């Protein structure tokens, strides 16, 4: 019974405090002013929005709102709402605020000057000094001048972007705007057997798309934007963003391609490039837009693979990006050509068996783009690499069991072709045959690096390397094949230098029997005695739930190059 009385008393006190904040003291009841509830502070543009719920306490005459920051302080008074208001919620804006974190206090003031308990919140308004403005999309993720036109790559559609315009002047001084926001939702499709086949988003554009209009690249090209930032109650009119036509955002794949060909100062050589050879998988060909004098792209010329492996080893480059970039190059320089070997690039087809080249033509995105098909003619015109004389060389391996000419030993890498074997069993029984040899160290249960070292005994100039994969292609054999290796030189066997511009790393073809020809840059062709090869082993299966690792390499032959 006592517990029930205490509980009822506690409930009554709680309700009283919420509404009137009454307390009892030795002199009788003290009545507090009812406070505001559900206070929120939301950022706006150079202002803060303050939201609260009024208290129905009849003694409240004003609502006092104060703000304090390192930039200053202020206060305002607001009349309370009528107790008959629907939800008692009210809103005010604190205007003309600078970039600072503000402490906001909201409290009720009674007729006699007494104040309620304070509700305190914090807020920071948006302004041009706010770092979040820098994260707001500028609408284009990449762009570049291409002849008399501008190629732009649009960002994804964003509901917070309300307006986005690309603005430029033509050579007659006329201003033009292109609605970027409207085009962020563009898509492509073509008709097949009476059905519409969707190809996905269309976000690469060559501007202007009006006939007879040429951009004046001596005038600024700007992006105008309006939109909202996270939690912001206002739409923001952002400062115009001027596109810097010197901006080049290189992908890792293109950076490595150019580094391997031209060395560390490759960016200064971009404008000189007229022919670009691409052989290994490129995630995207977007960076082709940055080559102002490019006249020819050669695809797959240096992949010397058997045609039977082309279908299962074609490039996985983004076909939309690659094909559209090649079309734009064709549009901006009519003499531009594309050579393709072995259909290694742009081999993929859609679900209807249509090549994406034909599909995008059907969708109207491509017009006169065509490839000069070279087939496998490169197999008949391989580079001339002449092996150095390997007599007396010593070949060692970090896995010492595979030193020298042992079965599957490291020295097997020096054989260019089949090894002739003569076995004399005695009693006049002699067996002769040719066999393929390759290097294969022991299996391990952990990933690791295997090193092979050539001691050529005397310093020699190495101009390149002929690298080959084993031809065997039984079940699981391709798991052993490498796609990359690292090459180093030394004169003393202690101090090592890279054999190319890419930290010694080199991509190699990884289909059975495929050959790769690696060139040592001329400035690195100095006499060396030692060559070191670093090979990362590959997962080939499991044993007792552990992953097994191993590798195979058919040949690695130092050469002179014609």
Give the model confidence (pLDDT) of 342-361 as tens digits: 988 998 888 888 999 999 99
Q: Output 260 or 7, whichever has higher pLDDT.
A: 260
Q: pLDDT-derived band of residue 14, with 50, 70 and 90 as boundaries?
A: very low
Pairing, β 337-341 against β 296-299: parallel
Give the model confidence (pLDDT) of 158-192 as tens digits: 899 999 999 999 999 999 999 999 999 999 999 99
Q: What mean pLDDT do residues 79-86 have? A: 83
CA distances from 490 to 114, 449, 452, 525 (A): 87, 19, 13, 12
Q: What mean pLDDT do residues 394-407 have? A: 92
Which two three-digit tokens encode residue 372? 């000069």
CA distances from 399 to 42, 392, 403, 435, 535 (A): 66, 21, 7, 24, 12
| pLDDT value for 135 | 87
Q: Give the pTM.
A: 0.85
| pLDDT value for 29 | 59
Which of 26-35, 85-94, 312-321 is predicted least confidently?
26-35
pLDDT at 17 over 80: no
Across 399-483, where does the E strand assignment appear?
419-426, 429-435, 449-460, 464-468
Q: What mean pLDDT do residues 88-107 have? A: 93
Q: pLDDT-derived band of residue 374, with 50, 70 and 90 as boundaries?
A: very high
pLDDT at 4 over 80: no
* Separation of alpha carbons 546 and 193, rounded Å: 51
| pLDDT value for 3 | 47
In DSSP terms, which residues pair with 170 in a beta bridge?
215
| pLDDT value for 49 | 96
Q: What mean pLDDT do residues 225-234 have? A: 93
Which residue's entry shows tokens 């393709």?
340
Maximum CA pair distance of the chain? 130
On the question of a cis peptide bond just before residue 208, with omega within 30 degrees of 0, the verdict is: yes
Q: pLDDT-derived band of residue 21, with 50, 70 and 90 as boundaries?
A: very low
pLDDT at 392 over 70: yes
Which residue's entry shows tokens 């066997």?
493
Which of 131-135, 296-300, 327-331, 486-490 is predicted least confidently?
131-135
Average pLDDT, the chain: 90
| pLDDT value for 315 | 86
pLDDT at 362 over 80: yes
If one counts every other C-beta atom within 10 angstroms of the C-beta of residue 464, the result is 19
Give the model confidence (pLDDT) of 474-485 as tens digits: 888 999 999 999
pLDDT at 20 over 60: no
Q: Output 488 or 435, whichever has higher pLDDT.
A: 488
| pLDDT value for 7 | 45
Q: What mean pLDDT do residues 440-446 have? A: 93
**Helices (DSSP H) in 127-202: which residue ranges?**
180-183
| pLDDT value for 274 | 97
| pLDDT value for 275 | 97
| pLDDT value for 84 | 78
What percent of the chain stands above pLDDT 70? 94
Which of 15-19, 115-119, 261-265 is predicted least confidently?
15-19
pLDDT at 5 over 50: no
Q: What mean pLDDT do residues 125-154 have? A: 93
Domains (ranges, CATH) in the chain? 136-242 (2.60.40), 252-375 (no CATH), 385-561 (2.60.120.260)
* Separation of alpha carbons 400 and 410, rounded Å: 9
Q: Output 113 or 451, whichever has higher pLDDT.
A: 451
Helix (H, G, I), strand (E, B) or coil at 135: helix
Residue 417 sits at φ, ψ, to 5 deg, of 120, -165
Q: What mean pLDDT do residues 277-282 have? A: 89
Q: pLDDT-derived band of residue 15, with 50, 70 and 90 as boundaries?
A: very low
* Separation of alpha carbons 282 and 280, rounded Å: 6
Residues 6+ apart with CB under 8 A from 300: 278, 279, 315, 340, 341, 342, 343, 344, 345, 378
Pairing, β 464-468 against β 555-561: antiparallel
Q: What mean pLDDT do residues 23-50 have? A: 80
Residues 6+ apart with CB under 8 A from 220: 242, 243
* Separation of alpha carbons 531 and 551, rounded Å: 19
Counting Cβ atoms within 10 Å, is residue 491 exposed (0-12), middle (13-18) or buried (19+)? middle
Q: pLDDT-derived band of residue 406, with 50, 70 and 90 as boundaries?
A: confident
CA distances from 500 to 183, 263, 516 (A): 44, 8, 15
In DSSP terms, which residues pair with 519 in a beta bridge?
464
Q: What is the DSSP letter of 131?
A: G
Residues 6+ apart with CB under 8 A from 148: 214, 215, 332
Q: pLDDT-derived band of residue 28, with 50, 70 and 90 as boundaries?
A: low
Q: pLDDT-derived band of residue 59, with 50, 70 and 90 as boundaries?
A: confident
| pLDDT value for 325 | 98
What is the dihedral sign for C-alpha 278, 283, 285, 291? negative
| pLDDT value for 30 | 61
């Amino acid at each position: 019974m006592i517990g029930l009385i205490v509980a009822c008393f506690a409930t009554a006190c709680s309700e009283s405090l919420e509404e009137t904040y009454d307390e009892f003291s030795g002199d009788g009841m003290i009545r507090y002013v009812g406070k505001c509830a559900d206070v929120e502070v939301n950022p706006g543009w150079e202002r803060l929005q303050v939201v609260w719920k009024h208290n129905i306490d009849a003694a409240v005459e004003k609502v006092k709102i104060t703000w304090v920051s390192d930039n200053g302080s202020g206060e305002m008074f607001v009349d309370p709402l009528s107790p008959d208001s629907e939800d008692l919620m009210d809103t005010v804006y604190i205007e003309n605020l600078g970039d600072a974190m503000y402490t906001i206090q909201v409290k009720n003031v009674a007729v006699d000057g007494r104040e309620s308990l304070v509700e305190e919140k914090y807020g920071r308004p948006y302004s041009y000094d706010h770092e979040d403005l820098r994260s707001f999309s500028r609408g284009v993720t990449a762009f570049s001048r291409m002849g008399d036109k501008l190629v732009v790559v649009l960002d994804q559609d964003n509901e917070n972007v309300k307006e986005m315009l690309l603005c430029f002047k033509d050579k007659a001084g006329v201003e033009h705007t292109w609605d970027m926001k409207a085009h962020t939702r563009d898509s492509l499709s073509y008709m097949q057997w009476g059905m519409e086949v969707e190809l996905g988003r269309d976000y690469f554009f060559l501007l202007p798309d009006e006939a007879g209009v040429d951009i004046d690249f001596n005038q600024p090209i700007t992006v105008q934007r309006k939109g909202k930032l996270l939690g912001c109650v206002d739409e923001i009119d952002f400062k115009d963003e001027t596109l810097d036509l010197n901006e080049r955002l290189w992908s890792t794949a293109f950076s490595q391609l150019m580094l391997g060909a031209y060395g560390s100062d490759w960016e200064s050589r971009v404008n000189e490039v007229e022919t670009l050879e691409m052989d290994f998988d490129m995630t995207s060909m977007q960076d082709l837009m940055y080559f102002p004098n490019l006249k020819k792209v050669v695809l797959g010329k240096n992949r010397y693979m058997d045609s039977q492996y082309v279908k299962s080893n074609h490039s996985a480059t983004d076909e939309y990006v690659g094909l559209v970039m090649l079309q734009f190059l064709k549009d901006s320089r009519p003499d531009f050509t594309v050579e393709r070997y072995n259909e290694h690039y742009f081999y993929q087809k859609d679900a209807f068996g249509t090549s994406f080249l034909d599909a995008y033509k059907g969708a109207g995105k491509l017009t006169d783009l065509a490839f000069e098909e070279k087939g496998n003619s490169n197999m008949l015109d391989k580079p001339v690499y002449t092996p150095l004389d390997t007599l007396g060389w010593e070949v060692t391996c970090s896995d010492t069991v595979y030193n020298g000419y042992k079965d599957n030993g490291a020295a097997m890498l020096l054989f260019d072709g089949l090894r002739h074997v003569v076995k004399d069993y005695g009693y006049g029984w002699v067996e002769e045959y040719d066999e393929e040899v390759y290097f294969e160290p022991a299996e391990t249960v952990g990933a690791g690096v295997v090193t092979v070292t050539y001691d050529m005994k005397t310093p020699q100039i190495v101009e390149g390397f002929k690298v080959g994969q084993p031809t065997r292609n039984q079940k699981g054999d391709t798991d052993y094949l490498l796609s990359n290796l690292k090459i180093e030189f030394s004169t003393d066997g202690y101090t090592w230098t890279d054999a190319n511009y890419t930290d010694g790393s080199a991509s190699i073809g990884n289909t059975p029997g495929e050959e790769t020809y690696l060139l040592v840059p001329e400035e690195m062709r100095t006499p060396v005695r030692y060559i070191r090869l670093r090979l990362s082993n590959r997962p080939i299966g499991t044993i007792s739930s552990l992953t097994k690792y191993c590798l195979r390499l058919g040949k690695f032959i130092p050469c002179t190059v014609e």
